[in-house]
Amino acid sequence: MSSSSEKPDPFDPFGIVASMEAWCCLLEAAREIRNVDQEMMMTMLKPKTPGPAPVSAEAAAKLRSIVELMRSLNLDPDAIRQRQPAAMRALEAACLDCRDRSRCARALRAGTAAATYREFCPNGARLDQLKYA
């Protein structure tokens, strides 16, 4: 309450007004917190736009092959992902299902993938479409 050096308010000797002012401040703070909570709840309840699904470490390693191959063909995987997301998803899906991964890896290491990808890559036709578009 008040310290002994303060004089009591002659119109509020019991400190009721001061208590009411403090109570009003607490109520206002509670209202603000409630509003923030409601805003947060609305934000959390907003439907989320579907993003890319999480990729396992194994799948990520497999997908590096298509990115490397695209770069060897002077194609920008990031630009294609932005401009043509469906095309990039199709490339990645075919790469994940590839049964000739060792040949792809050897060609990429040897630097011959750009010349020989049509022989083994399930994405050969798609890459040609992107390359010559």
| Residue 1 pLDDT grade (very low, low, confident, very high; cuts 50, 70, 90) | very low
Q: Is 23 helix (H, G, I), strand (E, B) or coil?
A: helix
Count of domains for the chain: 2
* pLDDT for position 61: 79
CA distance linking residue 107 with residue 73, whole number of Å: 13
Q: Do both 35 and 63 map to the same domain?
A: no
Nearest of 128, 36, 55 to residue 96 by alpha carbon: 55
**Looking at per-residue confidence, does 102 or 133 come out higher?**
102
- Only one residue has tokens 């790469």, namely 95
Domain that holds residue 111: 57-131
Same structural domain, 83 and 36: no
Same domain assignment for residues 64 and 40: no
Rounded mean pLDDT, 36-58: 69
User: 68-127 pLDDT, tens per residue?
Assistant: 999 999 999 999 999 999 999 999 999 999 888 899 999 999 999 999 999 999 999 999
Whole-angstrom distance, CA of residue 62 vs CA of residue 9: 79
Distance of alpha carbon 32 from alpha carbon 39, whole angstroms: 11
- Lowest mean pLDDT, pick from 14-23, 55-64, 116-125: 14-23
- Is 44 in the same domain as 66? no
**Does 11 lie in the same domain as 28?**
yes
Spatial distance between the Cα atoms of 5 and 18, rounded to a whole number of angstroms: 17
